[in-house]
Amino acid sequence: MIHVDPDLTDEDFLKLFEKGIKAQWDSEQIDWGAVEGISEIQKQALGQVITPVYLGEQTAMLGISQVLPMVLTTGYAEPALYLSSMGLDEARHFRNLNHLYRVLKVDPLPSRRLPEMWRYHARLLHKRDPVQWVFGILISDLFAKTFYGGFADRFPDTVVGRLSRRTLQDEARHQAFSDRYLNRMLPTMDANARRELLVLRDDLFRIMERLGERLRGSMEVLDWSPEEFLAELWRDTERWVNKLGIVPHPHSADDIAAL
């Protein structure tokens, strides 16, 4: 339940919250006119490849608004504080991409051309448990990071690269949140609940493979491939899975109990 006057002692989350507040920025910090060096065909391709990231920013807003009451009503106010600032970050990312489409004068892919985007969205929304949610948000943050990183490398001195680099700073903080939250919660979970996280990871990756196929043509225009993208994202995700120790030790008591 919610406490009127909690002690707020979890310094890790409080520090991250302060950092999140200080790091806020607005669209005036971006030079929206820097479009030279992006050809018309590249703009069209960018419009298509950015589409799942664009919806992903809204999915992130939705995810945060789902998980926040779950965390706050268990009386854990510090992560709920941070999640509130994270919601503002995602709203800014969504707003900025909305503006970017108008600056580039291109359209996102219509929904029917990218049905996996909705499957991904539905798979995340399916979850009622805050740990599953935060893990899904982490994978989505890594997905966004891989895209923004690729845009920053390919169009470094343009509005696309500058916006991507600035957004990546927010995304790094979001990963730090997931790291702290999952580290606190994982020891309270049994082997089955932890395996469920890997099922979620595998489901999301299967959806992303199909999504990559749909984007192949436009990615190739950007000198990119779905394989390259997914390999990078998988490496990143696995690094987190190992760092967090999600995979139960093969001989742990939990594992034996689950047999």
Q: Of 76 and 147, which has the nearer Cβ to Fe ion?
A: 147
Q: Distance between CA 78 and CA 11 in Å, rounded? A: 8
DSSP letter at 29?
Answer: G
Binder to Fe ion among 78, 116, 141, 236 (CB under 5 A)? 141
Scanning 29-37, 54-62, 71-79, 112-120 for contacts with Fe ion by CB under 5 A, the matching segment is 54-62
Shortest Å distance, C-beta 257 to Fe ion = 35
Q: Within a 13 Å sphere around the CA of 97, how many CA atoms are in the beta-carbon half? A: 26
What are the residue ranges of helices labelled H in the chain?
Answer: 11-22, 40-49, 51-72, 77-104, 115-125, 130-154, 159-185, 191-221, 226-244, 253-258
Instruction: Answer for the pair 16, 22: CB distance below 8 angstroms, yes or no.
Output: no
Q: What is the rounded CA–CA span in Å between residue 217 and residue 180?
A: 38
Q: Is 173 in the site for Fe ion (CB under 5 A)?
A: no
Span of 11-19, 86-94, 147-155, 208-216 interacting with Fe ion by CB under 5 A: 86-94
Nearest-approach distance from CB 29 to Fe ion, in angstroms: 16
Q: Which of 127, 166, 174, 214 binds Fe ion (CB under 5 A)?
A: 174
Least distance in angstroms from the C-beta of 158 to Fe ion: 20
Sign of the alpha-carbon torsion through 166, 47, 55, 154? negative
Q: Which is nearer to Fe ion, 34 or 88 (CB)?
A: 88
The residue whose two tokens read 């993208």 is: 229
CB 141 → Fe ion: shortest distance, Å? 4
Applying CB under 5 A, the span of 25-33, 137-145, 214-222, 251-259 interacting with Fe ion comes to 137-145
Site residue total, Fe ion (CB under 5 A) = 6
State the amino acid at position 210 in one-letter form: R
Residues in 93-132 that interact with Fe ion by CB under 5 A: 93
- Only segment of 16-24, 32-40, 91-99, 248-256 that touches Fe ion (CB under 5 A): 91-99
d(CA 63, CA 52): 15
Residue type at 70 in one-letter notation = M
Binding residues (CB under 5 A) for Fe ion: these are: 57, 90, 93, 141, 171, 174
